Amino acid sequence: MDPEIRNSGVAARGRAAVIDRILTVTGEEAQRVGPDRVRMGEVATRAGISRASLYRYFANKDELIQAYTMRELDHVFAHMDEAMEPFDSFEERLGAAFAFAITAMREHPVFVALLGIAERQIMRVTLQSGEVLGHARDLVVERMNRAVREGRIRIDQFDAAVAGELMARLVISLLATPESIARLETGDDARDFAKR
C-alpha cells in the first residue's frame, strides 16, 4: 500500500478518535452543567487538547453541541434497530421504533436539557436546525428503504423522504411540547399511537 494512503488512513482514524473524545467530553459537560453552559476551554482541557486545536475541529459551541446531538441521534437509532428486531410487520416495527425514540429521547439527560432551554439560541441551533432535522430524517429514510428492500412495504405507498421528515418533526414536536390529547405516557401508548 502506498505510504501516503496508509498515513492518510492513520490520520483519519486519529482525527476520528479525537473527535469522539471531544464529543464524549462535551456530553459529560452538558450533563454536568447544562448544554447552554458548556465552555469550549473546559472541553478542550478535559479532552486533552489545546483550545486552538478544538477550534480546528469545531468553529464554535453551537457547532460542537450540534455535532454531539447528531452523534447521540446515531446512538438512539442504533438501539432503535435492536428494539424493532423482534417484530415482523412494518406497522409493529414502526410502532416499536417510535416508542423507543420517544422514550430514549425523553430519558436522555442532554436532550431533556436542550428541550428545557427552548427559548435560547442553543435549542434552535441543535434540535431545531435544518442539519440535525435532516440527519434525523435521513436515519428514518434509511430504515424505511430497508423495509422496502425487505418487502415489508411497497415503494409506492409513500414518499420516504417526506414520511421520514414528518416522523422526525413529530418526535421533536412531541418532546418539545409533551402535553397532547394523544396518550404517550408509556411505550405501549407510543406503539399504539404510531401504528394508528
pLDDT tens sequence across 6-19: 444 556 778 889 99
Q: What's the pLDDT band for 110 if we cut at 50, 70, 90? A: confident
Query: Cell for 6?
Result: 496508509
Q: Which residue has the higher pLDDT, 125 or 57?
A: 57
pLDDT at 25 over 80: yes
Kindly report the number of other CB atoms within 10 A of residue 101's CB atom. 28
Q: What's the pLDDT band for 106 if we cut at 50, 70, 90? A: confident
Q: Buried b / exposed e across 45-84, counting CB within 10 Å, b at 16+?
A: eebebeeeebeebbeebeebbbbbbbbbbeebbeebeebb
Burial label for 26, CB within 10 Å (0-12, 13-18, 19+), is: buried
Q: What is the pTM of this model?
A: 0.71
Q: Which of 28-37, 63-72, 84-93, 117-126 has the lowest mean pLDDT?
A: 117-126
% of the chain beyond a pLDDT of 70: 83
Tell me the pLDDT tens digit for each residue of 162-189. Answer: 878 888 878 777 777 767 777 777 778 8
Q: Give me the pLDDT at residue 116, please.
A: 62
Q: Give me the pLDDT at residue 91, please.
A: 78
Decide if 54 contacts 47 (C-beta within 8 A).
yes
Mean pLDDT of 118-143: 68
Mean pLDDT of 98-104: 85
Alpha helices for the chain (secondary structure H): 3-33, 40-47, 51-57, 61-84, 90-107, 109-116, 121-125, 130-149, 160-176, 187-195
Give the type of residue at 65.
I
Q: What is the DSSP letter of 59?
A: S
Give, in order, the Cα–Cα distances in Å from 7 to each of 3, 12, 16, 57, 157: 6, 8, 14, 19, 47
